[in-house]
Amino acid sequence: MKHTGGCHCGAVRYEVETDIDKVIECNCSHCHKKGLLLHFADKDKFTLLSGKDNLSEYRFNKKTIHHLFCKTCGVQSFADNDSYPKMAINVRCLDDVDTSSLTIEKANGKDY
Ligand SMILES: [Zn+2]
């Protein structure tokens, strides 16, 4: 299924083709503070439609994950990485997804 999404102000927009069966709520220091609900989609099914130049990047820990957020509104709608063939989608930023209807799987990122 094709989904569209993006940041709050509308500068960053993307589309992604994936079936959202379950989402991950991770308790690591970063995901916890941002309230991210993540779904991992194949990178070749992800297309950034606009806002490439409006993205800023934050890295921490092993610095392999590119936490990309909009320079204008600060919202992180997805994350890229160096070593994994999937893109992390923040499901809260998809236009057509009701997060209250999703199965949430807890991930223990805090201990890694
Ligand atoms: Zn924005």
All structural domains of the chain, each given as residue ranges with its CATH number in brackets, are 2-111 (2.170.150.70)
Residue in this structure with the two tokens 């500068």, named with its chain if needed:
11
Distance from Cα 111 to the centre of ligand 1, integer Å: 31
98-108, pLDDT tens digit by residue?
Answer: 999 999 999 99
Nearest to 107 by CA among 41, 43, 42, 37: 37
Distance from Cα 52 to the centre of ligand 1, integer Å: 11
pTM: 0.93
Distance from Cα 51 to the centre of ligand 1, integer Å: 8
Average pLDDT over residues 47-76: 96
Whether 109 has a pLDDT exceeding 90, the answer reads no
Q: According to the model, what pLDDT value does residue 110 have?
A: 83
Q: According to the model, what pLDDT value does residue 67 have?
A: 96
Give the containing element (helix H, strand E) for 30.
Answer: helix 29-34
**Cα 76 from Cα 95, distance rounded (Å):** 14
